[in-house]
Structure 1
């Protein structure tokens, strides 16, 4: 899939209310340039799916969407089959909306936990919240990769090298602990407001500090964060900011899931790529 086709796919997602990030086409392709598939109908893009490698034994499936006016014509099934064949024996994960979880279960996927999207208006920083996090530098990437691998079980250096690169509309904050990353979080501009993710931390205190610093930058705008429900402190942090759950997905795997560090993932990078 070329970037222009991925832009088209994200336009479909936008129409469905997925609220993609403004730079997601470029960021997504960086994760796995060969991992995005598209089906044509009469010479025009009609349906898409992605299967992005997240380690030698695991891949993540997403962006499974068909153009609204072409649904029900049998375009999605062959595309699904092509993506699953591309897995080549790897375990495949996805974040499935409630309405589709039964279909995924029939394909051999099993839920490991739920992911809850919290959303609301970013509050002003309270007087006692002092900024502890800092913008990252290139030398921080190995420590961030190590934290990401421990928190998610994924090994995705190509994705992180771009996703963790600060620029206009894409803020990355970090708390260092010697040579380790104690916490890291990303705030990225979307069609509507901002999304926070990932938010990874070795403690709830560090997660809170990074989260509050990022939220302060979006003060008065709508913010969203996708929270794994097997990290109870994450939901509590979101609620402490006045955010409320607006929908949920299930993290599902066909095959053994990767080993995740207990309680270190406070916010998912993106539901499309894991």
Structure 2
């Protein structure tokens, strides 16, 4: 067995303990993400903890590692917020966190978005590449919203249609996530022949606002939804995470949202069927 494999599988015998992630860990988790230069606010950590479950590694009361998973029904889940402090990397702690997540997720299909550094850890656990996410961000310019008979603000009676479209696009049952996103964000729906055919949610996140999820039948329709959100965010810092296959990256560059990084989408298990609606932007790279 290679040395790297041994380090990946063996937990060091030291004073680091793995415990369930709870609210009192939030300041430590924030400090850890700041160390990694991830732009999470403590509100973003708390939001994720409300939707999923996680674990932390503690050493002398200090959070030195985090990981979370988000179940969508009994068959699917996403994972993310997997961080190990630079001071303790190389000791198998990432493997320890990941193995615990996978043990509680059970037989579910699991989707995650990986940094370059994490790809080997995940591939050893049966994850395979499934696409690339482009992160775009920058200050929003001045944009005109589409006509209200094309894109309008979402109302309560749209929720069932939005949940159906989201399920079509992702193959996941994400209604609890959608309901929570709608509590904290502003949503628009796309209309085709008077029926709801797509949606977008914008909310505070990280350095400013994130636009996502965006679900639509076509790239042109997704652009209309994004423009509706941007029309309310002039001068605000905006982030959009989109899969390379959507073809939106070049357009996002032209409207001033530069591509700043990539993540590799990886999956373990069989993805459920999806379509004809498609996901054009993520709510974030952990929740998907």
Q: TM-score range by the shorter chain?
A: 0.7 to 0.9
Which of 237, 248, 256 is matched with 2:262 structurally?
248
* Pairs aligned (count): 267
Q: 1:179 to 1:7 in 2, by over 3 A?
A: farther
1-side partners of 2:240 and 2:213: how far apart? Answer: 9
TM-score of the two chains, using structure 1 as the length reference: 0.87
| Alignment of 1:222 onto 2:267 | no
Q: Considering only aligned residues, what root-mean-square deviation do their CA atoms show, in Å?
A: 2.4
DSSP-derived class of the 2:111 partner: strand
- Bigger Rg, structure 1 or 2: 2
Whether the aligned pair in 2 keeps the contact of 1:143 and 1:179 (CA below 8 Å) is no
State how 1:27-176 maps to structure 2 within 5 Å: 27-32=47-52, 35-126=53-144, 129-130=146-147, 132-166=150-184, 170-176=185-191
Runs of 5+ consecutive residues of structure 1 not aligned to the other structure: none
Residue of structure 2 equivalent to 1:269: 283
Residue of structure 2 equivalent to 1:259: 273
Q: Which one is further off, 186-195 or 81-90?
A: 186-195
Residue of structure 1 equivalent to 2:253: 239
How much does 1:242 deviate?
A: 2.5
Whether the aligned pair in 1 keeps the contact of 2:219 and 2:246 (CA below 8 Å) is no
Q: Which one is further off, 221-230 or 178-187?
A: 178-187
How much does 1:263 deviate?
A: 6.5
Q: 1:96 to 1:238 in 2, by over 3 A?
A: same
Whether the aligned pair in 2 keeps the contact of 1:228 and 1:266 (CA below 8 Å) is yes
- For residues 228-260 of structure 1, give each alpha carbon's deviation from its aligned partner in whole angstroms, at most 9, with x where no partner exists: 11222x224423413221111111011112323
How much does 1:143 deviate?
A: 1.1
2-side partners of 1:243 and 1:134: how far apart? Answer: 23
| Alignment of 1:18 onto 2:38 | yes
How much does 1:130 deviate?
A: 4.4
1-side partners of 2:284 and 2:222: how far apart? Answer: 17
2-side partners of 1:27 and 1:213: how far apart? Answer: 25
Residue of structure 2 equivalent to 1:189: 204
TM-score of the two chains, using structure 2 as the length reference: 0.83
